[in-house]
Amino acid sequence: MASEKETAGSGSAAAINGGEALEPPKRKIALITGITGQDGSYLTEFLLNKGYEVHGLIRRSSNFNTQRLNHIYIDPHNSHKARMKLHYADLSDASSLRRWIDTIAPDEVYNLAAQSHVAVSFEIPDYTADVVATGALRLLEAVRSHIMATGRSHIRYYQAGSSEMFGSTSPPQSETSPFHPRSPYAASKCAAHWYTVNYREAYGLFACNGILFNHESPRRGENFVTRKITRAVGRIKIGLQSKLFMGNLQASRDWGFAGDYVEAMWMMLQQEKPDDYVVATEESHTVEEFLEVAFGSVGLNWRDHVVIDKRYFRPAEVDNLKGDSSKARKVLGWKPKVDFEQLVKMMVDEDIELAKREKVLVDAGYMDAQQQP
Ligand code: NDP
Ligand code: GDR
């Protein structure tokens, strides 16, 4: 949790200059869409630590969707302490986006919201395009009209792009590799990428595309392959399940740690000029290798538990992603701190602890072993 004494910018809070007290530097204000997601939660922690005031747009759901933020949430009634504020909005609702941009008047806007599951995008293509592609356009337009109305032209915009845009283009993929999307999700991310480039070129908006390769963490959604595996490892080790149903094990991904990747997002917006950057570890592993390391780390053999189920294969697959992030390393000075083995171990360790807590509930009769909280 950030210290309340920290402030954005480089100066101290109340510098004295020749006996004259200066105004404390104003906090920078960030607006994050998708704040309740994996990256949103890490980015919020990162920005709070830098002294920012962080506003997040959350969508209405029938259950609370703020689990990943609970540990940093401070009741807004404690307004002098609460530096993270949440507001209802939706990427499918242009009026809500414009209203909050006008009200919050952010310095930096991070567009992380998305229907982010590739396989699900084949099931709900129309909705995926609306949120991922047109949603980004709505937000860019809200920022542009806010600048036109207020003259606040210093606003900076980050668009969450994806290695999925490269699709079937051979590795290593860099900023100059062609896009060949293989899903409605990836095609929508390509549209969002080009909307962002267009707003930069047409209106001079400080807008950056981060082309991020897969990044994971103990906060990863449970239906992405890494977390699905580490959740199963935890539950199998503790005796709550025995089988794990999987799809294509030969796909290869460049997996990094989400905590490292949100720093690159911020770094992009601190440069003199807006640009697009690939962010990747430059190491690729198959899903099978992930299984091997994750099960192996707790003395299990994945072959004793994994069952291949055709339903998890996709109509079109992305076979091999491995990024070339030399531009981000050179220009931003970014590099990953967590390697593949450390990432897998971090996720397995957390999911073993989670499974132990589930076991207590199962043994007490409060939970069915099949059920996951
Ligand atoms: P998550 O799926 O964890 O989070 C997505 C976020 O978007 C959630 O906060 C979700 O809200 C929100 N959201 C979904 N639909 C809407 C909507 N209609 N209006 C407003 N908010 C909405 O994704 P990640 O954190 O993993 O990824 C962040 C971004 O980066 C996404 O755009 C993703 O496509 C992109 N990306 C991710 C990579 C990765 O490996 N993680 C790699 C490259 C790009 P709710 O909590 O209510 O569901
Ligand atoms: P991806 O992530 O599609 O790369 O998109 P995901 O973890 O879903 O799949 C990675 C690879 O694993 C294979 N796979 C399975 N995937 C899932 N989800 N479930 C399974 O049971 C399974 N078995 C095998 C997949 O076929 C695929 O090849 C993620 C998302 O975060 C996107 O939002 C982001 O843009 C990209 O990463 C970069």
How much is the ipTM here? Answer: 0.99
Task: Give the DSSP H or E segment for 43.
Answer: helix 38-49
Q: What share of the chain is helix, strand, coil (3-state, %, to 5)?
A: 40, 15, 40
CA triple 351-342-242, angle to 5 deg: 35
The set of residues, in sequence order, having a beta carbon less than 8 Å from that of 51 and lying 6+ positions away, is 2, 6, 7, 8, 9, 27, 28
Q: What is the pTM of this model?
A: 0.94
Query: Which protein residue has the closest C-alpha to ligand 2 atom 3?
Result: 118
Q: Which residues of the chain are under the pLDDT cut of 70?
A: 1-25, 79, 372-373
Identify which of 219, 253, 286, 305 to mutate to test ligand 2's pocket (most ligand atoms within 8 A of the CB): 253
In the prediction, which pLDDT does 370 show? 76
160 in ligand 1 pocket by Cβ < 6 Å? yes
For helices 38-49 and 258-269, give the axis angle rounded to 10 degrees. 60
Would you call 73 a catalytic residue per the annotation? no
Structure tokens at 194: 């080009």
- The torsion angles phi and psi of 232, rounded to 5 degrees, stand at -65, -40
> Tokens at residue 162, please?
């994806």
Across the strands, what pairs with 244? 306
Residue 125: cis peptide before it, omega within 30 degrees of 0: no
Q: What tens digit of pLDDT does each residue of 222-261 get?
A: 999 999 999 999 999 999 999 999 999 999 999 999 999 9
Confirm whether 288 is a catalytic residue. Answer: no
Of the listed ligands, the closest to the CA of 285 is 2
DSSP state of 30: E
DSSP summary character for residue 213: P
Predicted confidence at residue 20, as pLDDT, reads 57
State residue 270 phi and psi, 5-degree precision. Answer: -100, 0
The span from the CA of 246 to the CA of 119, in Å, is 13
- H helix or E strand, kind and range, residue 161: strand 156-162
78 CA from centroid of ligand 2 (Å): 40
> CA 320: distance to chain centroid?
21
Q: Three-class SS of residue 205?
A: coil
pLDDT of residue 76: 77
- Of the listed 53, 108, 164, 263, which one is catalytic? 164
Burial of 85 (0-12, 13-18, 19+ CB in 10 A): middle
Look at residue 75 in the predicted model and tell me its pLDDT: 82
Torsion of CA 316, 279, 34, 198, to 10 degrees: -80
Q: What's the gap in Å between 280 CA and the centre of ligand 1?
A: 18
* The predicted structure's pLDDT at residue 78: 76
Residue 164 catalytic? Answer: yes
- Residues 44, 92: Cα–Cα separation, whole Å: 23
Residue 66 contacts residue 73 (beta carbons within 8 Å): yes
The rounded Å distance from CA 42 to ligand 2 centre is 20
- Give me ligand 2 centre to Cα 118, in Å: 7
**Amino acid (one-letter) located at 346:** M
> Residue of the nearest CA to atom 4 in ligand 1?
37
- Active-site position among 116, 162, 177, 297: 162
* Given 185, 195, 199, 277, the catalytic residue: 185
Ligand 1 atom closest to the CA of 92, numbered from 1: 18
- Residue 21's pLDDT is 58
Question: Helix/strand/coil (H, E, C) string of 50-63?
Answer: CCCEEEEEECCCCC
- Whether residue 238 contacts residue 356, with contact meaning beta carbons closer than 8 Å, is answered with yes
State the ligand closest to the CA atom of 161: 1
**Residues near ligand 2 with C-beta < 6 Å?**
116, 118-119, 162-164, 213-214, 223-225, 228, 246-248, 251, 253, 287, 312, 314, 317
End-to-end CA distance of the chain: 26
Closest CA to 117 of 102, 109, 127: 127
Asked whether 351 and 295 are in contact (CB, 8 A), the reply is no
**Nearest ligand 1 atom to alpha carbon 113:** 7
For residues 105 and 149, the answer to whether their CB atoms sit within 8 Å is no
Angle at the Cα of 41 from the Cα atoms of 39 and 43, rounded to 5 degrees: 65
Tokens of residue 176, six digits = 């100059």
Token readout for 301 is: 């053999």
Domain 27-218+255-281+316-336 falls in which CATH fold?
Rossmann fold (3.40.50)
